[in-house]
């Protein structure tokens, strides 16, 4: 804590690791009345009672034993620690800290533990990071983690795909007028330009790159041409993460900023699964549990192998369009500003696309007609 305060006073950017229970640290920060600007939590609360979250007051080994020998007692201690955890966070936010859920089910499990985590409307006191950050900045605008794997296993092919992605994004940046979209493209250009230098490849020759529907389709089409003319030596497999614009129904994470009530439904993953299958995916999956745990989320995913043929071009254009636009449409129906703008753009670009756009009602008129009830 002393190091942290001194770095902050001297405006030195640094990163400090604390080995111990996070609740002991938060409580000590409260006791010393330290001002914290931003706070979140990265324990594995999607799996709270089997080692994702450790109770305060027990060593790692003691926790492991208790978990196996007396799981009920372990659960009680986890929930007790969570209540203390939230108490410390609530105190710091009352002093001005901004706190958000990192997508690790902190809010969900704290609520289940009976912690003081709800506001007067029955919602959570704090946002999930998708509500405040990823949703408005990326997902509503169709930007999400597109990815690909070079089946040749060659570095030279991966480098070629990087060059293609960089070229396509540079062209898109020149064409783009919307400042929000320009910022996204600029970030993604920086990422792809530096990806190779940072040796990000783990095992397979794969890359991940945030891109919107246009970006994904144009990059994929260019890769397909490169396979056809031999610049890339073998087929490329396209995919995406489940943590994306569409394909995942997860009310505490990916769909947390869909506030029209439909975040509790699980139909988008099914629509992605069925639509992707019909439009040409090489394989599809409909599954459960992605990122936040079994029973909390429904996921639809795909893999699409492109091999340089005209058929691959037809499939990639049809399928990638659906895979992204399906989610943008849903976000637009929820009246999310960025998504309404994005779906209108998508209709301008593709005259075959017709999506109903919500007509926004002035809240004052509604209040006047039906009152607060």
Ligand X SMILES: NC(=O)c1ccc[n+]([C@@H]2O[C@H](COP(=O)([O-])OP(=O)(O)OC[C@H]3O[C@@H](n4cnc5c(N)ncnc54)[C@H](O)[C@@H]3O)[C@@H](O)[C@H]2O)c1
Tell whether residue 59 is a contact of ligand X (CB under 6 A). Answer: no
Q: Does 319 bind ligand X (CB under 6 A)?
A: no
- In the shown chain, the binding pattern of residues 233 to 252 toward ligand X, with x for contact by CB under 6 A and - for none, equals ----------x---------
Instruction: List binders of ligand X among 291-310 (CB under 6 A).
Output: 291-292
Whether residue 316 contacts residue 217, with contact meaning beta carbons closer than 8 Å, is answered with yes
Q: Is 102 in the site for ligand X (CB under 6 A)?
A: yes
Closest contact distance (angstroms) between CB of 46 and ligand X is 4
Q: Any contact of residue 42 with ligand X (CB under 6 A)?
A: yes
* Helices vs strands, H then E, count in the chain: 14, 8
Q: Give, as ranges, the residues between 4 and 23 that touch ligand X (CB under 6 A).
A: 21-23
Say which DSSP state 11 is in.
T
Which position's Cβ is nearest ligand X? 104
Min. distance of Cβ 20 from ligand X in angstroms?
A: 7
Per-position b or e across 90-127, b if 16+ CB within 10 A of its CB: bebeeeebebbbebbbbbbbbbebebebeeeeeebbbb
Helix (H, G, I), strand (E, B) or coil at 360: coil
DSSP state of 126: S
The label of the residue with tokens 């996921």 reads: 299
For ligand X, the closer of residues 43 and 325 by Cβ is 43
Buried-state track 299-319, b at ≥16 Cβ within 10 A, e below 16:
bbbbebbbebeeebbebbbbb
User: Which stretch in 100-108, 117-125, 155-163, 352-360 sits in contact with ligand X by CB under 6 A?
Assistant: 100-108
Residue 22 CB, nearest approach to ligand X (Å)? 4
Which of 79, 104, 282, 312 touches ligand X by CB under 6 A? 104
Chain residues in the site for ligand X (CB under 6 A): 21-23, 42-46, 53-54, 102-104, 129, 243, 291-292
């Amino acid at each position: 804590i002393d190091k942290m305060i001194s770095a902050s006073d001297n405006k030195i950017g640094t990163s400090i690791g604390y080995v111990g229970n996070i609740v002991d640290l938060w409580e000590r920060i409260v006791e010393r009345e330290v001002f914290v600007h931003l706070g979140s939590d990265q324990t594995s609360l999607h799996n709270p009672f089997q080692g994702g979250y450790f109770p305060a007051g027990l060593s790692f080994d003691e926790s492991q034993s208790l978990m196996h020998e007396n799981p009920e007692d372990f659960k009680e201690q986890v929930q007790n620690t969570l209540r203390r955890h939230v108490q410390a966070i609530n105190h710091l936010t009352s002093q001005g800290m901004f706190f958000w859920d990192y997508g690790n089910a902190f809010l969900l499990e704290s609520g289940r533990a009976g912690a003081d985590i709800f506001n007067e409307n029955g919602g959570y006191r704090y946002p999930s990071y998708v509500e405040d950050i990823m949703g408005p900045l990326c997902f509503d605008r169709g930007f999400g983690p597109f990815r690909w794997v070079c089946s040749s296993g060659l570095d030279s092919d991966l480098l070629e795909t990087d060059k293609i992605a960089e070229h396509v994004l540079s062209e898109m940046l020149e064409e783009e007028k919307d400042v929000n979209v320009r910022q996204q493209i600029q970030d993604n250009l920086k990422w792809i330009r530096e990806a190779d230098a940072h040796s990000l490849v783990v095992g397979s020759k794969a890359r991940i790159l945030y891109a919107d529907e246009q970006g994904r389709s144009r990059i994929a089409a260019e890769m397909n041409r490169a396979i056809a003319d031999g610049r890339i030596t073998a087929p490329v497999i396209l995919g995406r993460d489940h943590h994306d614009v569409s394909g995942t129904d997860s009310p505490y994470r990916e769909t947390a900023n869909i506030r029209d009530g439909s975040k509790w439904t699980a139909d988008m993953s099914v629509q992605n699964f069925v639509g992707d299958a019909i439009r040409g995916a090489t394989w599809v999956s409909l599954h459960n549990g992605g990122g936040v745990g079994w029973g909390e989320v429904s996921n639809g995913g795909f893999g699409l192998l492109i091999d340089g043929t005209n058929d691959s071009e037809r499939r990639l254009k049809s399928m990638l369009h659906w895979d992204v636009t399906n989610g943008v449409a849903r976000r637009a129906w929820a009246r999310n500003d960025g998504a309404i703008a994005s779906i209108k753009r998508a209709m301008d670009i593709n005259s075959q696309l017709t999506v109903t756009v919500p007509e926004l009602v002035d809240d004052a008129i509604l209040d006047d007609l039906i009152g607060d009830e």
